[in-house]
Amino acid sequence: MIENKESIEETVGGHQQQHEIRIEKLEKLKSAGRDPYETTKFDVDAKSAEIIEAFDEDLPERHVSVAGRITGWRNMGKANFIDLTDSDGKIQVYVKKDIIGQDEFERFSSWDLGDIVGVKGTVFRTRKGEISVKAESIELLSKSLHPLPEKFHGLRDVDLRYRQRYLDLIVNPEVKKTFITRTKIIKEIRKFLDDMRFIEVETPVLQTVAGGAAARPFETHHNTLNLDMSLRISLELPLKKLIVGGFDKVYEMGKVFRNEGMDTYHNPEYTLLELYWAYVDFEKIMKLTEDLIKSVAASVMGEETVIEFGGATYDLSKPFDRISMKDAVKKYANVDFDEVLTLKEARKIARENDVEFEPHHLIGDI
């Protein structure tokens, strides 16, 4: 009979009771001289994805040392299967009493989902065809004192996911891919601009004037200088001063801060890229932008050039369209600026298109 540890946990009270039970288990481990927090290292020589990819039944038996979090547990009596999740993915581990010994198996059986363990053993394929590690020894490296959210069936609370990213990463493996992709994108942006001989700079985050954009800043006070300051809302002004100072090509990727509304797409702090290039016109910057996007996409995505996002499809293999703002408004909003001759007409069209404006705004502002 196969018994899942997820089902057992569901019958033993709620989160608080589970937390208390795990605290008791930790104290017992400490009393027995097996405090997992005193473990200083565990030698890892393989990752889950690499083990699965490199497996070949025709090759000699491979010994591996892996570590990760227990994210699944199937109890079959004298043998257990656990899912071990590491930074690269997940692999099944076969733990048998006859192999690791009676005492170690009993200790292992008291562990919980979420615990971090180190396993040494050999790679094999189960009768069901799953590539797994047959444990010759297994060690508790860190005790999880809280049960995994929703028993690893997915963290669905959007607010909790974004406020506690570490939980989101544990229970939603696809989120980790987003983190890795973002890192690759930033790396490739830097490489592209560096290859074009742009100079990367770091400009002050604290500024006396939060300029370069229309946004509400976070305000603070410099005690030593007795000076009111703001966290920057853009990168523009310091970069332009560097152009004045004699640099021809500069860029910065850094955090900016805007003390305004927030949702899952808008954060009060975010990473902004700005670049400035002397002696060129807007058409050169447009070409640079297109080349940058295509170069980064090719490096990160490989041969895949079609992207689907927000219900739309983008083919990066084609040249980017160029269109003026006036023509874009005419095309997509069916408003021809040349035919709007009075302030009254402008206000009427703005209201029809749900465009907000202030009483003092003139035709050009609207």
> DSSP states of 146-168 as a string?
SPPGGGGS----HHHHHH-HHHH
Q: What is the DSSP letter of 223?
A: T
In this structure, whether the domain defined by 3-167 belongs to CATH 3.40.50.620 is answered with no
In this prediction, residue 262 carries a pLDDT of: 84
Helix, strand, coil fractions of the chain, as percent rounded to 5: 35, 25, 35
| CATH 3.30.930.10 residue ranges for the chain | 173-279
One digit per residue, the tens of pLDDT, for the chain of length 366 reads 455 666 555 555 678 899 999 999 999 999 999 999 998 999 999 999 999 999 988 788 999 999 999 999 999 888 999 999 999 999 999 999 999 999 999 999 999 999 999 999 999 999 999 999 999 999 999 999 998 876 445 567 777 788 888 888 888 888 889 999 999 999 999 999 999 999 999 999 999 988 878 889 999 999 999 999 999 999 999 999 999 999 999 999 999 999 998 887 888 999 999 999 999 999 999 999 999 999 999 999 988 889 888 889 999 999 999 999 999 999 998 999 888 889 999 999 999 988 898 888 988 888
Determine the Cα–Cα distance for residues 110 and 27; give it in Å rounded to an integer. 13
In this prediction, residue 162 carries a pLDDT of: 80
In this prediction, residue 246 carries a pLDDT of: 97
Of the candidates 122, 141, 7, the residue with the CA atom closest to the CA atom of residue 63: 122
In this prediction, residue 231 carries a pLDDT of: 96
In this prediction, residue 333 carries a pLDDT of: 87
| CATH 2.40.50.140 residue ranges for the chain | 3-167
Q: Is 248 helix (H, G, I), strand (E, B) or coil?
A: coil
First to last CA, the chain: 72
Token pair, residue 305, equals 């050039």
In this prediction, residue 191 carries a pLDDT of: 98
**Cα-based distances in Å from 122 to 29, 134, 137:** 27, 5, 10
In this prediction, residue 6 carries a pLDDT of: 60
**173-279 CATH fold:** BirA Bifunctional Protein; domain 2 (3.30.930)
Pairing label, strands 63-75, 79-86: antiparallel
